Chains A and B, each alone.
Chain A
Amino acid sequence: GDSVTQMEGPVTLSEEAFLTINCTYTATGYPSLFWYVQYPGEGLQLLLKATKADDKGSNKGFEATYRKETTSFHLEKGSVQVSDSAVYFCALSPPGGYQKVTFGTGTKLQVIP
């Protein structure tokens, strides 16, 4: 079945550092790929998405590129802020059908001043 594998956390960075959170997936066909974020005390919310190969999703300074050849969707940000401290989830949804969304285990990011 479909699955998502994320790098384990927690990840601790200093403010303004470069961030990469790795995500790889297993799925048939061309799924849509997502990054969701969960800030402390809040529900999950969509951060960015890409729906076909080579697409780049971006939002709030975060970017991720859909790489079909490596089945990856790594999350990057050039300069993190303390307010980016959260748990980040990679997810996928298979093409067609009823939008069944499968999540990875999450990566906790802590940014220190």
Chain B
Amino acid sequence: EAGVAQSPRYKIIEKRQSVAFWCNPISGHATLYWYQQILGQGPKLLIQFQNNGVVDDSQLPKDRFSAERLKGVDSTLKIQPAKLEDSAVYLCASSLAGTNTGELFFGEGSRLTVL
């Protein structure tokens, strides 16, 4: 079974530029998450989708971050314009809906460096 796929793995941009990250969850997983992991900290939930609807985006900085999950499968997270403090690893995870086991399957992450 293929795992969660993310791209790009690494991205370096200058502040005020834009960047987009892509995620393909495990087939059949209805719930998709984007987490931000700053160096030395735990993952922080940015947005959670159930199919193609948003369940929780309370910690998403909506003035610069946006995310979509068209057709309830792939998802894209965009940052525009980027700030220095956005340097982090962006983790995508997916899970089966309805089980409430809390078991998330993570991709390897996309590491963003903002200069």
Residues of A within 8 A of B (CB): 4, 32, 34, 36, 42-46, 49, 51, 89, 91-93, 95-106
Contacts and interface: CB of A to CB of B under 8 A. Distances in A.
B102 A106 contact: no
Interface string B9-50: 000000000000000000000010101000011111100101
Contacts of B50: 98
Interface string B39-69: 0111111001010000110000000000000
Contacts of A106: 40-42
Nearest to A98: B55
Contact of A98 (B31, B42, B107): B31
Given A98-B31, A100-B56, A106-B41, A42 B108 contact: yes
B106 A45 contact: yes
A15 to B, nearest CB: 26
Contacts of B105: 45
B106 A93 contact: no
Contacts of B44: 103
B1 interface: no
A104 B106 CA distance: 16
Contacts of B100: 32, 93, 95-97, 99
Contacts of A36: 104
Given A43-B107, A100-B45, A105-B41, 13 more contacts: A42-B108, A43-B106, A44-B93, A44-B104, A92-B102, A98-B48, A99-B31, A99-B102, A101-B45, A101-B102, A103-B35, A103-B43, A106-B41
Given A44-B91, A100-B56, A34 B102 contact: yes
B85 interface: no
A51 B102 CA distance: 9
A65 to B, nearest CB: 17
A104 B42 contact: yes
22 contacts: A32-B100, A32-B101, A43-B4, A43-B109, A44-B91, A44-B106, A46-B103, A49-B101, A49-B103, A51-B101, A96-B100, A97-B100, A99-B31, A99-B95, A100-B45, A100-B48, A100-B55, A101-B104, A103-B42, A104-B42, A105-B40, A106-B42
